């Protein structure tokens, strides 16, 4: 009898484990279903891209249907749309010409262009260009000119080709192929016209291969061009060690040029070339570092002058210059300064066509606003004013004397991060809101026409794509709305938006909560903080597209409440709000995150604040590790991927922008110095070929943790750069880490994320 009792008890335990294992398998499968690559297949028309038709106010666009996708054509004068062509007839013509099996529901036309004058379309399939007459759908191949190479740039009149070769600049007559050498003193590492990537990798066993891309800017009349000469001779290198090369058993060492904070950078100096005379003149400025430029050299319509902007080292000032294209003489139109830093993203500049006036954005009064200047840099007036942020200047209507701009925070009843379109007259005394819905508005204004396209949404409201009048913002045509039927069929639910107070008890901060689809208010759920405190960003999604298509949602499906929140110091609020993070990146917004989560938990008893985790990537990887090291009483588990754990080994421009020049505060805010504090469960992940945040960042933190005899896990993913989010092994290991250490359950053993293989 006892034997039978024991037998049934063991059977019950075994059955319980089977049920638990099955439940965990289902959770992993659900989490995989909600990964970005998979969840995007469950929606249609969340996004819409308008493609302008040259010399018209028209555009074409694509819409998705259950069968595939169709092309549509919008007439900007008649304000109506139609199918762009007969899809079935076009598919048949392409099939006859190419011999390929072409479906009318998935034409996949590349480089599509409409020529209304002769009623034809032009497109590319694979590498071949075709032209189709839309009256009879006859098709023929087009013999295109030899494509312009990456080291070449064609003049606007198509008569000349600039080419960078052997560290120098050449000019080629496009008709005769006659060649002229414009420079001869260019040498390796001190070269002309080379567009240099921050991420160019060099195989140290072979050495640097000269394979340049060109940077030039042509004048509108094709008579002049401007480029720079780069000086790379003093810049240092960073290295990566590739243990698993494409072939052979010997590992490879790779290098890339990367100035670290305070080090000698790559510098540039501008030159202007006269195409007819084959002469050059140096722009009268000393060589300067230009890590990030909002405004590269841009020509005025008269082709006599050009303008560009330059950040001063340390980002405390930006200069706007006007250059005489004949003499190289430079006039400083304005210098915008800050006691902290000038944010590179906020700077916008738009000129009137005749070059008589320009509009400039600045945070000088505490908010990013628009200012109007004459051609000599004299301030005419402040165009916008108030406690809101101008994000962008989209259009200048000179005839109506209106500036169309994007801003957030002007409407007190809305989330200040929502982007809205406004029109204001040049004098600044009349401002009109053109997008009134309580939502985030993604706006496109064509060069011609009296309308704009508005794709508006919230994380809890699907996207509507509409055409509106530029006069008053009224909807004059509805293009499409997002379809979510298949998404809702999975049990998917909208995330929850929230507003809480920052640590000062006054400032509103905003975030989003993701719940699992089987959420039960009677249960208790561990909480995960999805963090990225990089001050150039806003992590919390505001649009539907960003709100549903991310990795936070999939993690919630495992049985967590996932929260993302933007604390003090993040972008696109007041200057004072943003400056909270200046020289203070080590704060990571943690007090705002912790305080916000505690405020939420007061009215959400299902949030278990005894089990809180955090994860983040890059700057968010720094956050995740630092949260465990500085706030162990709150954060218990962390996944830190590709973290820049010490800003002294980061690319120079980013920490110099937000931390200033190196000083003791760099050392004070290094995660390396806090390794002895580790108490929670930390997973460090890095790709061994990460040429954005060098792998040494995580390895150095690991070395400090080992030095202090701390328990942690280090995962190095072979042959992976900075992008880890879509790596199936990383996805699964992040899930496993939180399931085991935060949910305190057994992870699904060796679950394979097949859809990402």
Over the range 264-279, which residues count as b (16 or more CB within 10 Å of their CB) and which as e? ebbbbebbbbbbeeee
The two three-digit tokens of residue 53, written as one number: 């038709």
Beginning with the edge strand found earlier in the chain, give each strand of the sheet holding 120-125 in spatial order. Answer: 110-115, 120-125, 128-133, 139-141
CB-based contact 481:443 (threshold 8 Å): no
Residue 425 lies in a domain: no
Residue 172's nearest CA partner among 230, 128, 214 is 214
φ and ψ of 732, to 5 deg: -65, -40
DSSP letter string over 676-727? GG--SEEEEEEETT-TTTTTHHHHHHHHHHHHTT---EEEEETT--S--TT-
The answer to whether residue 459 sits within a structural domain is no
Domain tally, the chain:
3
Q: Is residue 411 part of a domain?
A: no
Structure tokens at 609: 């604040």
Q: What is the pLDDT of residue 12?
A: 41
Instruction: Please give the radius of gyration of the chain, using alpha carbons only, rounded to the nearest integer.
Output: 29
Are 181 and 125 part of one and the same domain? Answer: no
Q: Do 134 and 208 share a domain, yes or no?
A: no
Q: How high does pLDDT run on average in the chain?
A: 94
Name the phi and psi angles at 731, rounded to 5: -55, -50
- Residues 220, 176, single domain; the answer is yes
Q: Which residues contact 451 (CB under 8 A, 6 or more apart)?
A: 57, 76, 79, 467, 468, 469, 470, 476
Cα–Cα distance measured from residue 156 to residue 174, given in angstroms and rounded to the nearest whole number: 12
Structural domain contains residue 368: no
For 490-508, the pLDDT digits (tens) are 999 999 999 999 999 999 9
**CATH code, 305:** 2.140.10.30
Is residue 709 over pLDDT 50? yes
Digit-coded pLDDT (tens) for 17-68: 433 444 999 999 999 999 999 999 999 999 999 999 999 999 999 999 999 9
Whole-number pLDDT of residue 199: 80
Q: How far from the centroid of its chain's Cα atoms is residue 355's Cα?
A: 31
Is the domain of 241 the same as that of 158? Answer: yes
Per-residue confidence band for 146, with pLDDT thresholds at 50, 70 and 90: confident
Q: What is the Cα–Cα distance from 201 to 256, expressed in whole angstroms?
A: 5
Q: Are 695 and 650 in contact (CB under 8 A)?
A: no
According to the model, what pLDDT value does residue 426 have? 98
- Region of residue 678 (left: phi > 0; alpha: psi -120 to 50; beta: else): beta
Residue written as tokens 């943690």? 590
Q: How far is CA 9 from the centre of its chain?
A: 56
Q: Looking at the DSSP assignment, which residues form a beta bridge with residue 620?
A: none
| Boundary of a domain, candidates 141, 160, 182 | 141
Mean pLDDT of the region 168-195: 96
Of 141, 160, 193, which one is at a domain's C-terminal end?
141
Quick check: 717 pLDDT over 60? yes
| Same domain? 264 vs 158 | yes
Average pLDDT over residues 228-257: 94
Domain housing 534:
19-43+486-756
Q: How far apart are CA 182 and CA 162, in angstroms?
A: 10
pLDDT band for position 206 (cuts 50, 70, 90): confident
The residues, ordered by sequence, that sit 6+ positions from 735 with a Cβ below 8 Å of its Cβ are: 28, 31, 555, 558, 747, 751
Is the Cβ–Cβ distance between 546 and 539 less than 8 Å?
no
For every residue of 366-404, DSSP letters joined together read SS-EEEEEETTS-EEEE---SSSEEEEEEEEETTTTEEE
- Spatial distance between the Cα atoms of 531 and 510, rounded to a whole number of angstroms: 13
Same domain (yes/no): 162, 25: no
- Choose one of 141, 172, 188: the last residue of a domain: 141
CA distance linking residue 370 with residue 365, whole number of Å: 11
* pLDDT > 90? residue 750: yes
Give the tens place of pLDDT for each residue, 445-493: 999 999 999 999 999 999 999 999 999 999 999 999 999 999 999 999 9
Residues 556 and 684 reside in one and the same domain? yes
CATH number for the domain harbouring residue 619: 3.40.50.1820
User: What are 229's two structure tokens?
Assistant: 């000469």
| CB-based burial label for 504 (10 Å; 0-12, 13-18, 19+) | exposed
Please tell me the predicted confidence (pLDDT) of residue 56. Answer: 95
Confidence of residue 293 (pLDDT cuts 50, 70, 90): low
- Confidence class for position 294, pLDDT limits 50, 70, 90: low
Question: What is the maximum span of the chain, computed from C-alpha positions, in angstroms?
Answer: 108
Give the separation between CA 429 and CA 207, rounded to whole angstroms. 61
Q: Looking at the structure, tell me whether residues 569 and 549 fall in a common domain.
A: yes
- CA 743 – CA 737 distance, rounded (Å): 9
Strands (E), 137-183: 139-141, 152-154, 160-165, 168-173, 179-181
Inside any domain, residue 361: no
Q: What would the mean pLDDT of 260-269 be, rounded to a whole number?
A: 93
Q: Same domain for 714 and 586?
A: yes
| β 681-687/635-641 pair status | parallel
pLDDT for the residue numbered 678: 98
pLDDT reading at 13 higher than 60 = no
Q: What pLDDT score does 11 carry?
A: 42
pLDDT of 530: 99
Specify whether 552 is located in the same domain as 676.
yes
Residue 465 to residue 479: CA distance in whole angstroms: 5
- pLDDT at residue number 16: 39
**Tell me, what's the pLDDT at 196?**
79
Residue 607, in any domain of the structure: yes
471 part of a folded domain = no
Residues 199 and 316 placed together within one structural domain of the fold: yes
Mean pLDDT confidence for 177-196: 95
Alpha-carbon distances of 593 from 566, 644, 668, 680, rounded to whole Å:
8, 20, 21, 18
Task: State whether 55 and 39 are in the same domain.
Answer: no
pTM: 0.93
Cβ contacts of 130 within 8 Å, gap of 6 or more: 94, 97, 122, 123, 124, 139, 140, 141, 142
DSSP run (H or E) holding 88: helix 87-98
User: Would you say residue 422 lies in a domain?
Assistant: no
Percentage of residues of the chain with pLDDT beyond 90: 91
Tell me the two tokens of residue 642: 């590709």
Q: What is the mean pLDDT of residues 503-528?
A: 98
């Amino acid at each position: 009898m006892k034997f039978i009792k024991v037998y049934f008890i063991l059977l019950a335990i075994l059955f319980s484990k089977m049920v638990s294992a099955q439940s965990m398998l289902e959770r992993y499968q659900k989490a995989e279903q909600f990964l970005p690559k998979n969840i995007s297949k469950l929606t249609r028309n969340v996004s819409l891209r308008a493609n302008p038709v040259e010399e018209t106010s028209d555009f074409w666009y694509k819409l998705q249907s259950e069968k595939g996708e169709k092309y549509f054509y919008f007439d900007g004068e008649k304000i109506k749309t139609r199918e762009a062509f007969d899809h079935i007839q076009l598919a048949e013509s392409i099939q006859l010409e190419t011999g390929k099996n072409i479906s009318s529901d998935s034409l996949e036309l590349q480089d599509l262009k409409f020529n209304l004058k002769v009623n034809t379309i032009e497109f590319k399939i694979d590498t071949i260009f075709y032209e189709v007459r839309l009256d009879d759908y006859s098709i023929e191949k087009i013999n295109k000119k030899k494509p312009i190479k990456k080291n070449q740039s064609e003049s606007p009149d198509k008569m000349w080709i600039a080419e960078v070769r052997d560290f120098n600049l050449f000019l080629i007559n496009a008709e005769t192929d006659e060649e002229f050498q414009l420079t001869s003193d260019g040498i390796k590492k001190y070269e002309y016209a080379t567009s240099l990537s921050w991420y160019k990798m060099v195989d140290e066993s072979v050495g640097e291969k000269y394979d340049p891309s060109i940077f030039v800017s042509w004048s509108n009349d094709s008579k002049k061009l401007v480029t720079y000469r780069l000086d790379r001779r003093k810049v240092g290198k960073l290295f990566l060690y590739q243990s698993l090369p494409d072939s052979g058993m010997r590992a490879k060492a790779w290098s890339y040029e990367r100035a670290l904070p305070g080090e000698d950078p790559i510098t540039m100096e501008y030159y202007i070339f006269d195409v007819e005379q084959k002469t050059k003149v140096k722009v009268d400025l000393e060589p300067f570092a230009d890590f990030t430029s909002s405004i590269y050299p841009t020509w005025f319509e008269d082709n006599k002058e050009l303008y560009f902007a330059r950040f001063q080292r340390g980002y405390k000032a930006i200069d706007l210059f006007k250059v005489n294209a004949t003499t190289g003489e430079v006039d400083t139109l304005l210098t915008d300064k800050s006691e902290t830093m000038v944010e590179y993203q906020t700077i916008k500049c738009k000129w009137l066509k005749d070059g008589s006036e320009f509009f400039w954005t600045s945070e000088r009064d505490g908010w990013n606003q628009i200012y109007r200047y004459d051609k000599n840099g004299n301030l005419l007036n402040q165009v916008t004013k108030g406690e809101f942020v101008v994000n962008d200047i989209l259009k200048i209507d000179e005839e109506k004397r209106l500036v169309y701009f994007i801003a957030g925070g002007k409407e007190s009843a809305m989330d200040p991060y929502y982007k809205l379109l406004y029109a204001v007259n040049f004098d600044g005394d009349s401002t009109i809101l053109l997008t009134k819905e309580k939502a985030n508005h993604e706006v496109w204004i064509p060069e011609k026409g009296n309308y704009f396209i508005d794709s508006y949404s919230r994380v809890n409201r699907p996207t509507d794509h509409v055409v509106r009048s530029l006069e008053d913002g009224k909807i004059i045509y509805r293009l499409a709305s997002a379809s979510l039927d298949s998404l809702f069929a999975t049990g998917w639910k909208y995330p929850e938006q929230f507003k809480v107070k920052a640590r000062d008890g006054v400032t509103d901060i905003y975030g989003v909560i993701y719940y699992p689809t089987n959420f039960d208010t009677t249960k208790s759920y561990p909480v995960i903080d999805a963090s990225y405190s990089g001050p150039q960003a806003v992590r919390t999604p505001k649009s539907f597209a960003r709100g549903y298509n991310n990795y936070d949602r999939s993690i919630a499906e495992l049985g967590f409440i996932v929260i993302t929140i933007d604390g003090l110091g993040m972008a696109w609020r007041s200057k004072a709000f943003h400056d909270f993070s200046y020289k203070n990146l080590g704060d990571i917004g943690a007090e705002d995150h912790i305080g916000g989560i505690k405020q939420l938990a007061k009215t959400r008893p299902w949030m278990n604040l005894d089990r809180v985790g955090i994860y983040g990537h890059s700057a968010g990887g720094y956050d995740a590790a630092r949260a465990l090291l500085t706030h162990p009483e709150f954060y218990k588990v962390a996944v830190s991927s590709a973290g820049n754990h010490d800003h002294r080994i980061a690319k120079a421009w980013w920490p110099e922008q937000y931390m200033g020049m190196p000083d003791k505060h760099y050392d004070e805010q290094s995660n390396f110095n806090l390794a002895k504090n580790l108490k929670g469960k930390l997973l460090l992940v890095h790709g061994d070929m990460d040429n954005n945040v060098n792998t040494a960042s995580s390895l150095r933190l690991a070395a400090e943790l080992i030095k202090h005899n701390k328990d942690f896990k280090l995962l190095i993913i072979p042959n992976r750069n900075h992008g880890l989010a879509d790596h199936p092994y990383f996805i699964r290991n992040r899930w496993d880490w939180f399931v085991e250490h935060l949910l305190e359950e057994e992870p699904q053993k060796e679950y394979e994320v097949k859809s990402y293989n």
